[in-house]
Amino acid sequence: MKFFVDTADLDEIRDLAATGLVDGVTTNPSLIAKSGRNMLDAIAEICDVVPGPVSAEVTATDVDGMLAEADVLASVAANVAIKVPLTPDGLKTCKALRDRDIMVNVTLCFSAAQAILAAKAGATFISPFVGRLDDLGQRGLDLIEDIVEIYDAYPDFNTEVLVASIRGPAHVVEAARVGAHVSTLPPGVLRQLYQHPLTDKGLSAFLKDWEATGQSIIEQAEQRKDAAE
């Protein structure tokens, strides 16, 4: 499974990208607004840090407006994926952009039927929102399982399932279990994947035992070097 980080905070992106775990980035108008940045500047800098797909969302709602904005956003960097809403005009825009070999992330998907339409329009990514479905009392991950099963049944569908609106590690693990291609994670959730109390407990015990020996790996290396000279 690929991990995208869902933020426009450049400091967070740099920090997480240094781990080698970040395969791409997703942004949206809300995240850009929260960052306080100019959208084009923010996307350009993110693309410099992360070589994988960086989703930049259009704000127009009609085909002509979306295509005009997509042209601007796609010109920022070769790894920009244009993010469009799952609406009739969004799907028309998706088809037009894919005919030009521009990556497209179709967002705000809440049903398997919508996901089928996005795949038929040639979407590079489909973004089902699991957390928002959970908020309504539905099980968002059931939707992921349905979409993966449908896509797997049709080899001509090349759309990757990008699980969005992730609220915690359990969403990530379950999405991976059912075969989703990508999870886009808020920085805090990505960091939660590291955490387990037994890891912390074990490390603490190892370090305590080592400290009691009074030894230092670096000092030992320097002593060996001095002895060899």
Positions marked catalytic: 83
Distance CA 136, CA 100 (A): 38
Q: Show Cβ contacts of residue 1 under 8 Å, excluding neighbours closer than 6 positions.
A: 172, 175, 176, 180, 181, 182, 183
Q: Based on the number of CB atoms within 10 Å of its own CB, is 118 exposed (0-12), middle (13-18) or buried (19 or more)?
A: buried
What phi and psi, each to the nearest 5 degrees, are found at residue 227? -65, -35
Angle (CA) 122 125 126, round 5°: 95
Distance CA 85, CA 121 (A): 13
Q: DSSP 3-state assignment of 203?
A: helix
